[in-house]
Amino acid sequence: MKVAGKLAAEQLEMIHAYIEPGISTGELDRICHEYTVQVQNAIPAPLNYKGFPKSICTSVNHVVCHGIPSDKKILKNGDIVNVDITVIKDGYHGDTSQTFLVGKCSVLAERLVRVTQECLYKGIAAVKPGNSLGDIGHAIQIHAEKNQYSIVREYCGHGTGAIFHEEPQVLHYGNPGTGLILEAGMTFTIEPMINAGKRHVRLLPDQWTVVTKDHKLTAQWEHTILVTETGFKILTLRADETITRCS
């Protein structure tokens, strides 16, 4: 899990330099696929997963999650794009995502992306043995709603390890002290999807792409977390991040 998480983090670091106006999400997918297979000697978990046709997910602007990369989707100045990476290495999964700013973005977009990352960190800080999944969701919900944003409720974090998606479901809202009690050794993702408008979403006919109903901006950040004896370890921590233990 540590190795797979490190590879997933390195891939987000690698792709950052390519995210600029004029590149297609299809090209981002090809770059990541080649990097996974040729450089990391790993497997892109999304490819052919339940029929998903690409190696990464690219969700632009009002796309909440599971956006399918395409050569027709060209990133423009002012866009935001979530790149969701999951690699399989030696049978284990590392799952992480980041929302990138493309060129010069609006103050609204920058604020949404920043607050969503803060929501992720608030949720992670609630991870320690004896706490509950409800503590995680509550921490995220309080911070999002304090900033006048809404939380997508139809999609959530999940257990992961040898299996891509498994129990438990990690909701990004909830009440303190409720739900599964955390124990050392658990591994799961926390991946809040935060909307600038209302929380409601809809699934497009491709049966993958999820968008906000009001077409307002949405952002997401994701990490794979290990519950340790004293707190947590972020298995997908990137070099530019400093949050490493429970606070």
CA dihedral (222, 244, 140, 144) positive or negative: negative
Domain boundaries, the chain: 2-234
Residue range 4-26: mean pLDDT, rounded: 98
pLDDT value of residue 246: 40
Cα 21 from Cα 237, distance rounded (Å)? 26
Helix/strand/coil for 234: strand
CA distance 219 to 140: 14
E strand or H helix at 32 = helix 25-34
pLDDT category at 36 given cuts 50, 70, 90 is very high
May I ask the CATH class of domain 2-234? alpha beta
Cα–Cα distance, 243 to 183 (Å, whole number): 20
Q: Is 16 helix (H, G, I), strand (E, B) or coil?
A: helix
State the Cα–Cα distance between residues 134 and 66, nearest whole angstrom. Answer: 25
pLDDT tens digits along 42-80: 999 999 999 999 999 999 999 999 999 999 999 999 999
- pLDDT given at position 53: 98
Phi, psi of 29 (to 5 degrees): -60, -45
pLDDT tens sequence across 189-227 = 999 999 999 999 999 999 999 999 999 999 999 999 999
Q: Give the pLDDT score at 156.
A: 98
Give the model confidence (pLDDT) of 119-131 as tens digits: 999 999 999 999 9
DSSP string, 125-184: HT-STT-BHHHHHHHHHHHHHHTT-EE--S--EEE-SSSSSEEEEE-SS--TT-SPBP-T
* Band of pLDDT at residue 247, cut at 50, 70 and 90: very low
pLDDT over 70, % of the chain:
98
pLDDT of residue 242: 78
- Provide the angle, in degrees to the nearest 10, between the axes of the packed helices 25-34 and 2-16: 140
- Rounded to whole angstroms, how far apart are CA atoms 118 and 140? 8
Do residues 222 and 97 lie in contact, with contact meaning Cβ atoms separated by under 8 Å? yes
